[in-house]
Structures are given as structure tokens and as C-alpha cells.
């Protein structure tokens, strides 16, 4: 070794050996760890890697259709052209894509900021899910976006099936609508054990009416498929472009519903409805199946189904006319004179009254210190049961109530179906109120007095009924005592049209009505429509005998000076009723019309009922002959003419004590006592 | 005549074992890259092949320049590397939140990769020049220069920020210092420091303590770094978030099983569940498709690299050569250890490539320069008599 030259660093050799041992030990550690992962835990990780590749994809089942009794489609699905953003694939989303989208779709700043915030708020795996940013694009906007697809990464355009209510606001309360399921409902409907729960976030669920009541029938069962996806959630395809999938479970479409509604009759009922608010119920008298149902004002279920803004919803619920309330069943009213058949039946049953019992009407009835006024101030003179009904004489019923008291009337009313829900099933119902002495003892200060029976006998006081109940009661009177449960769904069918279930008519109970009682009641109701001086003459048909009864439900306590109805505040005008069935001898169809605050007695409701009955028999005839039904005739009396309502009567001097009423309808000033008896016969020719 | 003899002797000293191991790992790497970058990804194994060619040329080029020339140029090399890191701050290209690239036309250079070598050379030069045969142990004062030599570039890399490379540099530097045989007092201090950092980790991440937590360094870390440490200490803490990559990588490796799913058959790979699957997570691809047996074989190749290169250190003719070899071996070892450790969930995830397997020109080139230096030292070793 040369001096001064580099010295061989022999002293390093042991250290090199030590270092090498440390490094090799490190490699050994790695090997052991690999063995642990790849050999010991191999199966665990294999399972995880399979989970990774296959994504359980839900295939939504098509929802069942809803048809009317003749097969006409009332509710189905239409394609809604929707725009989605998948944040993970939306490059330069905030800077370019959303502003571009906003320009193409003409969004205002608010809308754009809302979408920007929505996209910004997504986190983690959420970023791979589609966000709905616009629905129901017009075709040309959709085409425009399609043309600019290249400039809109992460934006998807899809035609999504969307529930369509073809009849619009007609039948809205009966058919209902749908909207997105809430978190609470998800936990309620999905049991935690289920691997594939029936409902998923973002699903729509039936909200009202048939959609809600028959949700499980209409819904069907969603299908599932395992699709191969990559880490970005993108679905993988094979060389032919087919989606790679396995374990496919096909969706089972929901069953279809056939309603008992006849949409032609429904259209007629919608057309002839005379006023602003109210209800029409058209029912088969013997089976309880609903043929048509109107509740006005209504709403558009197409709008309510996922297309309603919160402002619009607030406006709807603040609307004083309350369009969301189903007036046919979820609202009750004084029945007015339509209730007199019930009082009459109670009187006949009591034995104290016979069809020949005569009451002399002198224009009022004296009970104690107070005089209850009849509608006809001059008095009807002496009359018997038939005329009392036909001319709607209040005095007769005051006398009747004075004799038998309130309890027999209440008993008959409850038996016939008042005072309890009809079990319609499709919509929420109020039970109505049928007061008896126990009710008044409990609820009225001072307890029950005879005066309350007098008020109840003419359908005022605390008597409250729903239009649907009235239809059930009139059907029962017409058909001889069968109280039917109203139904609107006639059949459940598979998507192919095979019958799953046909609903049978359901008898709630049979009420004992003797032939004599029946004849008296029907006779009186026939007289209302068909006799000179009958209050319901406007519902008369040329070849069919209609039986019916008008009614005017007083809403407001009147002031000291009688005012013309036309000059009265809308909310203080009376409700006009007409309840009818035809043919009188063997009734097929029952029609109840309620026109809220029409203020003109039976002037508007009776013609509407007449038009519906006329249409029913026209359609029946045409269906039997296999010919097309004639076009509906022009509306008999479209708008009530104010001059016909010269209801300038003198107010009574005596004001009976106000009786308590159920406070439910805030918009209506609250039904008062019948200070002035109903004046529905003003229009009747004498 | 003398020169010719030298030439012949040096040729005979070429470490063929090392060369064979390096070429085998590179070949496995390219075979594996072809699978990791299968369509629709761009086939990066082709450029990698070009980088390998360039790397081999570099090895040959460096082998024929006597490393004593390199030794004389160490200070400029070191300074140029430092200057490059500083220049990055001005003209660097930002990628994934870090300024670590120079873009020169189609080439992207990562100066930190070369800084590692510069640091190793500079430290080797210090320990060569500072040799005192009669006073072998290194005390604190004699260790100040090497600590500075390693800390300055490490700090520059750390602020890029490139925590992974900075960690690798620290480990390499510590290994070299330990190899220089410090005094026992220094060892005790280093042990205390190591225990201290474990203590900090325990205090900041493991210990259950009431909110607000009293943390020592945790609040100073960047959010993603913090999440990585959390994820490493508790793999189930955030499976869909920051710990997603670690879990997916473990799934890939574990589901490979003893025999693997087959080349180009990896589902984690094919469906792109692996992040950075052709660079940092290349080993997951290999493990998933080739299985445990071939993984063991790959680890044996790396062990072969360590053995052949350290045997060069043992027979190096001077301290500079020995320290360079130890430094380069340490650099490669720590990268292999951290990379495979992180893809198997043993260590926290840091952006570290697997030498000779990961795709990347800078990585390939820096390793090949190192290999060139190894070959160079080997060729000029003494005591070999044909």
C-alpha cells in the first residue's frame, strides 16, 4: 500500500455486515406482513374486492296505472326531461359548466347560486351520485343542451318517467298525488334487516287519495342487478357495449287500479258545478261505488308531484278557499233542509206522526216565549207529511221535533250514516256532528232544551254532515235502507289486465224502513222535484222521475237589516244543497251537490244535479245501444242571476241564544243559529 | 500498458450480480407497468422502457468515470442541487399542491430525486475527509457538519411540500451517520429523540384525552398529512375518505392471495380502485396479479440488491466509496421499505415510489445514477486478483 494513498477502510466491514443484517431484517418484516395479508387474510380481502366491483343497482318498478270504469287512463307516466350533474365528473363546474348551463337554460342568479351551492355541498362518495338540477325541460331546451353536451362535462340529460295526472285538477283529491319520501317514512317502511329495502331515498310515495291508500298495490317491487363498476362508479361494458352485470332480479311492475269513476260523468259534473267552492258526489245508489266526485276549488296534482315550490305550497295553504281540503268528505256543513227526510223518518218511526198527521203552518211555530219562523211567512196552511217535504215547510218539523224530541232524530240520523266516517278509505274524513240531548248536556251551557231539537230537525243547530255522508244517506233512503260503504276503487288488475281483485259492494248496515215509511219519504222527495211548488223543480227530467231535496245551510248570523244576497259578503252567504236520486222508484244513482256560499238556495245546486242525472241516463242509454253518447247540453243555469234572489226579508226581532259550534273552519265565520229559516223555495213557482 | 491493465482489472471487477438484479427488477417493473397502464390508460410502459435504456446508458457512462473525479466535484454537485431546489420556488410546476417539478418541454424533472444523491455524496465526502484513525468515535461537534449537510436539502424538500421524500432523506442521512459510528452519548441522545417522537405521536394521536386536545405538533401539520397519520394508526377511522386509498391498496394486495389473479386480470387495478397505480401504488398491482410467491421473489431481488451492493461497500478501496455505497443502498432500502410498508398498511401513506418498479423518469434516473456509482466503486475496488 502506498503511503499517502487511500487506506482500505477495513474497520467499516463489521458495520457493513451489521447494516446489511438490519436491512435484510426489514425485508423479512415486509415478507411476513405480505404473508399475513395475502395468505392469512386472503379470503377476507377477496370478498372485499368482489364487493368493490359490483354495485347493487336498483331498477325502479313502473308504478301501476289508474283507469276509470271504462278503461280510460286517468293517471300514468310521461317522460320528464331532466338535467343532472354528477359533481365528481363535472370539471370546472363552478367556473364554467354551471354558468354555461345557466345561460343555456336562462336561469336567474338565485337559481344558479342554488345549484352552485348544491354541487359545492356534496362530499365524498356523494360526489358520484347524480344531482337533479332542472326538471321538465321543454323539448327545445333539451335539444339545445344536447347540442352543447361536449362543453358540459358531468352533466347528464335523461328522460325520467314522471307521474302524470291526465285529468289535472279534476279528481285531484280522490286520486291524490305523490312526492318524495321523507327520512322518517324510510325508517318506517324499511326494516333494518333488509339488505335491499323496498324504498330508497329519492323515491316518490303516494300522498293523498288513491295514490296513498293503494300505495302498496300501485308500487310494485323494484328490481336489482349487480353491475360492474370502476372506482369512479362508472358502469363497465364489454366489447359489444353491453353492461357487465349478474344476479339480475327483474322489477315487478305495480298493479293497475280501475276506479268506479266514469270520466264522462266526471267531466259533466266538473262542467256544471255552479259556484266557487263546494262538492259534488255522484254515487251508485245500491252499491256505494262513486261515479264522479268534485271538490272545488282544487289543485293540480301534476304540480304537487315534485314540481311545487315552497312559496307556491305556502300560498296554497294560506288560500282562504283552502283548495287542499277535500270538501266531499273532510269538511262538514249544516245539511239544512236536506236533513228533513231524517227527521221525517224519525217522526214516522215514533208513531206520534203518521203520513196523515196534519200540522197547520201559520208562518211560524211558538215554543215557550219564542217563535220559530217558517220560511214562508204567510204560512203553508195545513199540510201533511208529503207536502211538508215537497214544500219544505219548517213549521211541520218544528212541531215534529217538539213532539218527539231530539234523541229519536239523532238515532235515525246515526243509523242512516251520519255522525260517523263512511269508511270511504281513500281520503281522510270528518265524522260530522249529530247532536242529541246528551251531547247538548255536555257541550252547551245550560244543557239541552227543546229549541235545540227544533233547530236540529231542519238540519241547523249543531247538525253537521259531509256531502259524502249525505250521498250515503240518500242512497239508503232511496234503496230501502241499505247503508252502503262508499268506494271508488272497483278492481285491481295486473299490468297485463288480468283481474287480481274485484271489490264487492260493502253494506255498512241495513236500516229498517217500512214500505209505508219508504213510500212517504220517496213521495215527498218526488214532490220536491216534480210537483208544482216543489223546491227542486229545476232538477226535473222529462222521462225519469227524480227524487230529491233542496237545502240551504245558514252560515252567518244575520244583522238587523236584511240585505240582498248579492250584496252580502261572500263568507256570510248561505250554502246551497241539493241531494237527489233517480229513478225515484228504483234508484240507480245518487247525486249530492253542495255549493258553498252561493246565497241563492236551491237555485244553482238543483240544476247542476239535474244536468248530471240527465247525462247519467244519456250515457246509460248510449252504452246499452253501443252508440256514442250525445254531447252534453249547455249548462241550464250557469251563473245564478242576482235578480232572481230577491231575498229581502225582514229580520226577526228575537235572537235566540247562540249555541256552541265546533270551531273547525277558520275561514268561515262559524255557523250560527237558524235565525231565518232556509229560503230555498224562493225560486219555486207557486 | 498500466492503463490497459487497470482497464482490464476494472472490467473484471464489474459487479455482475448487482447488474443482473437491477435488470431483473427493471424487467419485472416494465412487465408489471404494462398491466397497470392497460387500456384505457396510456401505455406508460413504453416511455418507461426508454427511461430504462437511458438509465442503463447512465450506469455505463458513470461507471467509466473514476469516482474520485466525482469525489472532487462533490461540492459543486451538491450546490447545484441545492440551487435547483431553490429555483423550483421560482419556476417550479405545481402538481397536487406541491412545487416539485421542472417542466422542460416533454420532460418533467424532479430535483428532489437528484438531491438525495447529492446529499449522499456530500456526506460521504465529509466522512472521508474527516477520517481520524486515532479518534474514531464521532462526537457532537464532528457531527454538526453532516447534520447541516443533510438538514438543509431536507428542509428545502419539506417546504415544497414533499413530506415523503424529506422523510426518506432523513432516514438515509441517519443511516449514514449511524454507519459512521457516533459516540455512545450521541446514540443515547438519538435514542431519546426517537422515543420522544414516538411519545409525541402517542400524545397527539393515540392517548385518550379530553377536548381540546393538548397536541404538540399535530396542529401544525397540513390536514392531509394529519389524516394520513390518523388513518395509519386506525385503519377503520375514515374508510371512504383519506383512508380509502390505504384500504383499497390492502384489498388489492390481500385479494392477490398465494398465486394472484393473473397478469392484466387484477380487478382493483382494472377498475381503477387504486390511486396512483402506476407510480406510488405499483406494488399493489404486482401483488394483486402475481400473488404472494412472486412477491416473495421480488423481495428476494431487493434483498439481492442490498447484499450485492453492501458487499461492494465492504470491499471499497476508500471511505468515500464505502460511504457512497452505504448511502445509496440505504436510500434504496428505505424507499422499498416505506413503499411496500405503506401499500400493505404497515406505514402511513407518503408519496414514495418503489425503486425500479414505479413509473417515472426522474425516479428511474436517480436510481440508475446510484447504481452507476455502485458499479463505479466496485470496479475500482482493491484486493481483486484475477
Q: Which of B255, B316, B337 to mutate to test the interface with A (most CBs of A within 10 A)?
A: B255
B51 falls in which pLDDT band (50, 70, 90)?
Answer: very high
Q: From the CA of B157, how many Å to the nearest CA of chain A? A: 25
pLDDT of B332 = 96
Q: Which of B241, B271, B344 to mutate to test the interface with A (most CBs of A within 10 A)?
A: B271
Per-position DSSP letters for A90-114, written without gaps between them = -TTIIIIIHHHHHHHHT--HHHHHH
Closest in A24, A33, A53 to B267, CB measured = A53
Beta carbons of A536 and A606 less than 8 angstroms apart: yes
Residue A168 in grid coordinates: 289535472
CA–CA separation, B337 vs B342, rounded Å?
8
- Please give the mean pLDDT across all residues of chain A: 83
| A384 and A420, same domain (yes or no) | yes
Q: Does A48 touch chain B (CB under 8 A)?
A: yes
Is residue A30 included in any domain, yes or no?
no
A289 bridge partner residues: A487
Of A231, A254, A277, at which residue does a domain stop? Answer: A254
> Which chain A residues touch B308 with a CB distance below 8 Å?
none
Angle at A438 between CA A436 and CA A440, to 5 degrees: 70
CA–CA separation, A678 vs A1, rounded Å?
137
Residues in Cβ contact with A26 at an 8 Å cutoff, skipping those fewer than 6 apart: B333, B337
CA–CA separation, B142 vs B136, rounded Å?
11
Closest chain A residue by Cα to residue B273: A231
pLDDT of A233 = 58
pLDDT of B234 = 63
pLDDT of B7 = 60
- State yes or no: pLDDT of B238 exceeds 90: no
Region A445-463: mean pLDDT is 91
Beta carbons of A208 and A173 less than 8 angstroms apart: yes
Q: How are beta strands A155-165 and B93-95 bridged, if at all?
A: unpaired
Q: From the CA of A233, how many Å to the nearest CA of chain B? A: 9
Residue A459 — φ and ψ, nearest 5°? Answer: 75, 25
Q: From the CA of B121, how many Å to the nearest CA of chain A? A: 17
- State yes or no: pLDDT of A685 exceeds 70: no
Is residue A3 included in any domain, yes or no?
no
> Which chain A residues touch B311 with a CB distance below 8 Å?
16
pLDDT of A611 = 93
Is residue A653 included in any domain, yes or no?
yes
The answer to whether the Cβ–Cβ distance between A52 and B303 falls below 8 Å is: no
- State yes or no: pLDDT of A571 exceeds 80: no
Q: Does A249 touch chain B (CB under 8 A)?
A: no
pLDDT of A600 = 59
Closest chain A residue by Cα to residue B300: A27
- State yes or no: pLDDT of A488 exceeds 50: yes
Closest in A12, A39, A229 to B258, CB measured = A39
Q: Does A244 touch chain B (CB under 8 A)?
A: no
Indicate which CATH number applies to the domain containing A267.
Answer: 3.40.710.10
Closest CA to A672 of A538, A544, A559, A561: A559
Q: Across chain B, which distance is largest between two alpha carbons, in Å?
A: 79
Region A589-610: mean pLDDT is 84
pLDDT per position as a tens digit, B151-196: 999 999 888 778 888 989 999 999 999 998 888 888 999 899 989 9
pLDDT of A677 = 41
pLDDT per position as a tens digit, A12-53: 889 999 999 999 999 999 999 999 999 999 988 888 887 776
Task: Choose between B323 and A637: higher pLDDT.
Answer: B323
CA–CA separation, B247 vs B16, rounded Å?
39
pLDDT per position as a tens digit, B310-344: 999 998 888 899 999 999 999 999 999 999 998 99
Closest chain B residue by Cα to residue A35: B292
Closest in A8, A27, A53 to B299, CB measured = A27
Question: What does the CA dihedral A505, A509, A515, A518 come to, rounded to 10 degrees?
Answer: -80
CA–CA separation, A341 vs A433, rounded Å?
17
Region A155-179: mean pLDDT is 89
Is residue A536 included in any domain, yes or no?
yes
| A404 and A485, same domain (yes or no) | yes
pLDDT per position as a tens digit, A74-118: 999 888 888 888 777 777 788 888 888 888 888 888 888 888 888
The answer to whether the Cβ–Cβ distance between A33 and B257 falls below 8 Å is: no
pLDDT of B95 = 61
| A268 and A342, same domain (yes or no) | yes
Beta carbons of B319 and B129 less than 8 angstroms apart: no
Query: For a pLDDT cut of 70, what percent of chain A falls above it?
Result: 83
| A409 and A446, same domain (yes or no) | yes
The answer to whether the Cβ–Cβ distance between A46 and B254 falls below 8 Å is: yes
Is residue A36 included in any domain, yes or no?
no
- State yes or no: pLDDT of A165 exceeds 80: yes
Say whether A536 sits in a helix, a strand or coil. coil
Domain assignment of residue A159, given as a range: 56-166+221-254
Q: For residue A533, what is the DSSP state?
A: T
A164 bridge partner residues: A76
- State yes or no: pLDDT of B220 exceeds 80: no
- Of A20-34, A59-73, A556-570, B200-214, give the lowest mean pLDDT range: A556-570
Tell me, rounded to whole angstroms, the distance of Cα A543 from its chain centroid.
35
CA–CA separation, A589 vs A586, rounded Å?
9
- For chain A, how big is the Rg over CA atoms in Å? 36
C-alpha distance from residue A1 to each of B8, B127, B385 (Å): 20, 21, 15
| A244 and A342, same domain (yes or no) | no
pLDDT of B261 = 87
pLDDT per position as a tens digit, A291-316: 999 998 999 999 888 888 888 889 88
Closest chain A residue by Cα to residue B333: A23
Q: From the CA of A16, how many Å to the nearest CA of chain B? A: 6
Closest chain B residue by Cα to residue A7: B318
Indicate which CATH number applies to the domain containing A131.
Answer: 3.90.1310.10
| A283 and A418, same domain (yes or no) | yes
| A68 and A125, same domain (yes or no) | yes
Closest CA to A463 of A665, A663, A668, A661: A661
What's the number of domains chain A is made of? 2
- Of A479-493, A605-619, B81-95, give the lowest mean pLDDT range: B81-95
CA–CA separation, A340 vs A465, rounded Å?
13
- State yes or no: pLDDT of A684 exceeds 80: no
- State yes or no: pLDDT of A496 exceeds 80: yes
| A331 and A425, same domain (yes or no) | yes
- For chain B, how big is the Rg over CA atoms in Å? 22
> Which chain A residues touch B270 with a CB distance below 8 Å?
230
CA–CA separation, A330 vs A371, rounded Å?
35
Is residue A404 included in any domain, yes or no?
yes
CA–CA separation, A531 vs A525, rounded Å?
10
Q: Which of residues 109-168 of A touch B (CB under 8 A)?
A: 124-125
> Which chain B residues touch A9 with a CB distance below 8 Å?
316, 318-319, 322
> Which chain B residues touch A229 with a CB distance below 8 Å?
271
Residues in Cβ contact with B130 at an 8 Å cutoff, skipping those fewer than 6 apart: B142, B145
Dihedral class, residue A106 (left if φ above 0, else alpha if ψ from -120 to 50, else beta): left
* Cis? peptide before A643, omega within 30° of 0: no
Structural domain boundaries in chain B: 2-379
| A434 and A455, same domain (yes or no) | yes
Q: Does A73 touch chain B (CB under 8 A)?
A: no
> Which chain A residues touch B345 with a CB distance below 8 Å?
37
Is residue A174 included in any domain, yes or no?
no
Region A181-206: mean pLDDT is 78
Residue A535 — φ and ψ, nearest 5°? Answer: -75, -15
Task: Choose between A547 and B234: higher pLDDT.
Answer: A547
pLDDT of A665 = 39
pLDDT per position as a tens digit, A322-372: 899 999 999 999 999 999 999 999 999 999 999 999 999 998 898 888 888
Closest chain B residue by Cα to residue A49: B251
- State yes or no: pLDDT of A673 exceeds 60: no
| A130 and A273, same domain (yes or no) | no
Question: What does the CA dihedral A130, A135, A140, A146 come to, rounded to 10 degrees?
Answer: 0
> Which chain B residues touch A46 with a CB distance below 8 Å?
254-255, 257
pLDDT of A12 = 86
Q: From the CA of B84, how many Å to the nearest CA of chain A? A: 31
CA–CA separation, A394 vs A677, rounded Å?
7
A7 falls in which pLDDT band (50, 70, 90)?
Answer: low
Task: Identify which of A599-613, B71-85, B210-224 has the greatest average pLDDT.
Answer: B71-85
The answer to whether the Cβ–Cβ distance between B273 and A37 falls below 8 Å is: no
- State yes or no: pLDDT of B216 exceeds 80: no
pLDDT of A654 = 38
Segment A268-272 long-range contacts (CB within 8 Å, at least 24 positions apart):
A268/A292, A268/A611, A268/A612, A268/A615, A268/A632, A269/A293, A269/A294, A269/A608, A269/A612, A270/A170, A270/A294, A271/A632, A271/A635, A272/A607, A272/A608, A272/A611, A272/A612, A272/A635, A272/A636
The answer to whether the Cβ–Cβ distance between A12 and B322 falls below 8 Å is: yes
Q: For residue A250, what is the DSSP state?
A: -
A636 falls in which pLDDT band (50, 70, 90)?
Answer: very low
| A461 and A603, same domain (yes or no) | yes
- State yes or no: pLDDT of A644 exceeds 60: no
What distance, in Å, lies between the first and last C-alpha atoms of chain A? 149
- Of A345-359, A473-487, A648-662, B128-142, give the lowest mean pLDDT range: A648-662
Q: Which of A19, A32, A228 to mutate to test the interface with B (most CBs of B within 10 A)?
A: A19
Q: Which of B66, B171, B251 to mutate to test the interface with A (most CBs of A within 10 A)?
A: B251
A-B Cβ pairs (cutoff 8 Å, strict): 144
> Which chain A residues touch B136 with a CB distance below 8 Å?
11
Q: Does A44 touch chain B (CB under 8 A)?
A: yes
pLDDT of A646 = 37
Is residue A5 included in any domain, yes or no?
no
The answer to whether the Cβ–Cβ distance between A38 and B251 falls below 8 Å is: no
Task: Choose between A35 and A631: higher pLDDT.
Answer: A35
Closest CA to A207 of A422, A427, A488: A427
| A280 and A327, same domain (yes or no) | yes
Say whether B130 sits in a helix, a strand or coil. coil
The answer to whether the Cβ–Cβ distance between A38 and B181 falls below 8 Å is: no
Amino acid at each position: 500500500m502506498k503511503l499517502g494513498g487511500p487506506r482500505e477502510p477495513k474497520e467499516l466491514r463489521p458495520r457493513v455486515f451489521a447494516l446489511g443484517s438490519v436491512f435484510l431484517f426489514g425485508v423479512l418484516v415486509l415478507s411476513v406482513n405480505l404473508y399475513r395479508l395475502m395468505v392469512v387474510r386472503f379470503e377476507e380481502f377477496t370478498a372485499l374486492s368482489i364487493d368493490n366491483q359490483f354495485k347493487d343497482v336498483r331498477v325502479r318498478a313502473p308504478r301501476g296505472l289508474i283507469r276509470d270504469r271504462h278503461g280510460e287512463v286517468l293517471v300514468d307516466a310521461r317522460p320528464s326531461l331532466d338535467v343532472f350533474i354528477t359533481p365528481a365528473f363535472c370539471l370546472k363546474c363552478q367556473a364554467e359548466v354551471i354558468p354555461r348551463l345557466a345561460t343555456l337554460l336562462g336561469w336567474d342568479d338565485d337559481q344558479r347560486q342554488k345549484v352552485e351551492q348544491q354541487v359545492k355541498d356534496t362530499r365524498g362518495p356523494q360526489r358520484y351520485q347524480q344531482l337533479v338540477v332542472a326538471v321538465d325541460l321543454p323539448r327545445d331546451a333539451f335539444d339545445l343542451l344536447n347540442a352543447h353536451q361536449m362543453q358540459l362535462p358531468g352533466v347528464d340529460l335523461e328522460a325520467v318517467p314522471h307521474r302524470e295526472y291526465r285529468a289535472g285538477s279534476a279528481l285531484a283529491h280522490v286520486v291524490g298525488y305523490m312526492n318524495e319520501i321523507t327520512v322518517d317514512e324510510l325508517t318506517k317502511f324499511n326494516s333494518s334487516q333488509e339488505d335491499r329495502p323496498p324504498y330508497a331515498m329519492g323515491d316518490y310515495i303516494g300522498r293523498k287519495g288513491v295514490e296513498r291508500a293503494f300505495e302498496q298495490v300501485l308500487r310494485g317491487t323494484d328490481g336489482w342487478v349487480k353491475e360492474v363498476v370502476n372506482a369512479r362508479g362508472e358502469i363497465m361494458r364489454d366489447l359489444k357495449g353491453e353492461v357487465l352485470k349478474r344476479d339480475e332480479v327483474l322489477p315487478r311492475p305495480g298493479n293497475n287500479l280501475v276506479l268506479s269513476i266514469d270520466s264522462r260523468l266526471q267531466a259533466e259534473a266538473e262542467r256544471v258545478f255552479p259556484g266557487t267552492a263546494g262538492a259534488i258526489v255522484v254515487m251508485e245508489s245500491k252499491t256505494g261505488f262513486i261515479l264522479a266526485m268534485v271538490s272545488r276549488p282544487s289543485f293540480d296534482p301534476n304540480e304537487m308531484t315534485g314540481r311545487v315550490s315552497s312559496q307556491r305550497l305556502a300560498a296554497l295553504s294560506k288560500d282562504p278557499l283552502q283548495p287542499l281540503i277535500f270538501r266531499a268528505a273532510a269538511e262538514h256543513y249544516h245539511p239544512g233542509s236536506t236533513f228533513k227526510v231524517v227527521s221525517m223518518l224519525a217522526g214516522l218511526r215514533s208513531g206520534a206522526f203518521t203520513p196523515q198527521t196534519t200540522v197547520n203552518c201559520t208562518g211560524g211555530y211558538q215554543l215557550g216565549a219564542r217563535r220559530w219562523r217558517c220560511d214562508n211567512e204567510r204560512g203553508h196552511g195545513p199540510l201533511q207529511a208529503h207536502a211538508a217535504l215537497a214544500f219544505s215547510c219548517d213549521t211541520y218539523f218544528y212541531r215534529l221535533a217538539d213532539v218527539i224530541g231530539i234523541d229519536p232524530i239523532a238515532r235515525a240520523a246515526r243509523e242512516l250514516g251520519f255522525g260517523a266516517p263512511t269508511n270511504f278509505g281513500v281520503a281522510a274524513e270528518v265524522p260530522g256532528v249529530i247532536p242529541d240531548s246528551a251531547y247538548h248536556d255536555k257541550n252547551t251551557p245550560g244543557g239541552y232544551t227543546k229549541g235545540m231539537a227544533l233547530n236540529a230537525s231542519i238540519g241547523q243547530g249543531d247538525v253537521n254532515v259531509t256531502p259524502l255522508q249525505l250521498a250515503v244517506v240518500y242512497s239508503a233512503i232511496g234503496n230501502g235502507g241499505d247503508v252502503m260503504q262508499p268506494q271508488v276503487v272497483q278492481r285491481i288488475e295486473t299490468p297485463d289486465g288480468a283481474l287480481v281483485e274485484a271489490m264487492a259492494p260493502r253494506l255498512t248496515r241495513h236500516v229498517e224502513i217500512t214500505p209505508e215509511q219508504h213510500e212517504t219519504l220517496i213521495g215527498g222527495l218526488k214532490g220536491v222535484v216534480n210537483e208544482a211548488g216543489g223546491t227542486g223543480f229545476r232538477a226535473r227530467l222529462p222521462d225519469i222521475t227524480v227524487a230529491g231535496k233542496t237545502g240551504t245551510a245558514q252560515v252567518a248570523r244575520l244583522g238587523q237589516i236584511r240585505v240582498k244576497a248579492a250584496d252580502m259578503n261572500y263568507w256570510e252567504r248561505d250554502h246551497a244543497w241539493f241531494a237527489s236520486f233517480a229513478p225515484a222508484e228504483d234508484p240507480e244513482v245518487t247525486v249530492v251537490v253542495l255549493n258553498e256560499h252561493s246565497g241563492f238556495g236551491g237555485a244553482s245546486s238543483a240544476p247542476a244535479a239535474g244536468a248530471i242525472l240527465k247525462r247519467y241516463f244519456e250515457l246509460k242509454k248510449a252504452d246499452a245501444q253501443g252508440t256514442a253518447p250525445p254531447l252534453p247540453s249547455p249548462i241550464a243555469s250557469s251563473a245564478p242571476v242576482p235578480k232572481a234572489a230577491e231575498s229581502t226579508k225582514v229580520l226577526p226581532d228575537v235572537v235566540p241564544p247562540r249555541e256552541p259550534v265546533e270551531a273547525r273552519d277558520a275561514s268561515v265565520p262559524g255557523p250560527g243559529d237558524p235565525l231565518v229559516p232556509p229560503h230555498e223555495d224562493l225560486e219555486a213557482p207557486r | 500498458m498500466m492503463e490497459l491493465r487497470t482497464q482490464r482489472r476494472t472490467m473484471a471487477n464489474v459487479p455482475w450480480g448487482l447488474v443482473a438484479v437491477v435488470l431483473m427488477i427493471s424487467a419485472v417493473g416494465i412487465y408489471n407497468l404494462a398491466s397497470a397502464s392497460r387500456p384505457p390508460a396510456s401505455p406508460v410502459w413504453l416511455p418507461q422502457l426508454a427511461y430504462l435504456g437511458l438509465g442503463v446508458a447512465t450506469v455505463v457512462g458513470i461507471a467509466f468515470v473514476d469516482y474520485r473525479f466525482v469525489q472532487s466535484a462533490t461540492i459543486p454537485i451538491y450546490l447545484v442541487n441545492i440551487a435547483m431546489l431553490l429555483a423550483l420556488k421560482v419556476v417550479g410546476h405545481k402538481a397536487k399542491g406541491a412545487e416539485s417539478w421542472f417542466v422542460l418541454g416533454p420532460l418533467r424533472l424532479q430535483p428532489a430525486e437528484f438531491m438525495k444523491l447529492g446529499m449522499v455524496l456530500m456526506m460521504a465526502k465529509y466522512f472521508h475527509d474527516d477520517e481520524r484513525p486515532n479518534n474514531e468515535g464521532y462526537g457532537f461537534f464532528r457531527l454538526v457538519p453532516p447534520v447541516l449537510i443533510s438538514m438543509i436539502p431536507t428542509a428545502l424538500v419539506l417546504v415544497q411540500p414533499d413530506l415523503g421524500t424529506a422523510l426518506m432523506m432523513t432516514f438515509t442521512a441517519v443511516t449514514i451517520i449511524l454507519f459512521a459510528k457516533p459516540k455512545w452519548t450521541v446514540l443515547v441522545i438519538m435514542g431519546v429523540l426517537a422515543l420522544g417522537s414516538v411519545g409525541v405521536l402517542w400524545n397527539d394521536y393515540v392517548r385518550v384525552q379530553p377536548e381540546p386536545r393538548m397536541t404538540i405538533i399535530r396542529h401544525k401539520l397540513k390536514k392531509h398529512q394529519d389524516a394520513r397519520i390518523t388513518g395509519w394508526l386506525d385503519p377503520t377511522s375514515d374508510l371512504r375518505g383519506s383512508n380509502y386509498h390505504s384500504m383499497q391498496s390492502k384489498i388489492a394486495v390481500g385479494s392477490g392471495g398465494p398465486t394472484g389473479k393473473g397478469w392484466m386480470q387484477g380487478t382493483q387495478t382494472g377498475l381503477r380502485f387504486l390511486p396512483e397505480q402506476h407510480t406510488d401504488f405499483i406494488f399493489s398491482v404486482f401483488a394483486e396479479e402475481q400473488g404472494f410467491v412472486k412477491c416473495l421473489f421480488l423481495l428476494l431481488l431487493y434483498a439481492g440488491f442490498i447484499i450485492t451492493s453492501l458487499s461492494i461497500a465492504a470491499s471499497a478501496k476508500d471511505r468515500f466509496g464505502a460511504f457512497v455505497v452505504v448511502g445509496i443502498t440505504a436510500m434504496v432500502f428505505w424507499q422499498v421499505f416505506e413503499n411496500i410498508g405503506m401499500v400493505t398498511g404497515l406505514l402511513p401513506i407518503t408519496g414514495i415510489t418503489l425503486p425500479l418498479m414505479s413509473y417515472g423518469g426522474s425516479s428511474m434516473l436517480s436510481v440508475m445514477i446510484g447504481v452507476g456509482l455502485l458499479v463505479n466503486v466496485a470496479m475500482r475496488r482493491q484486493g481483486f486478483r484475477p
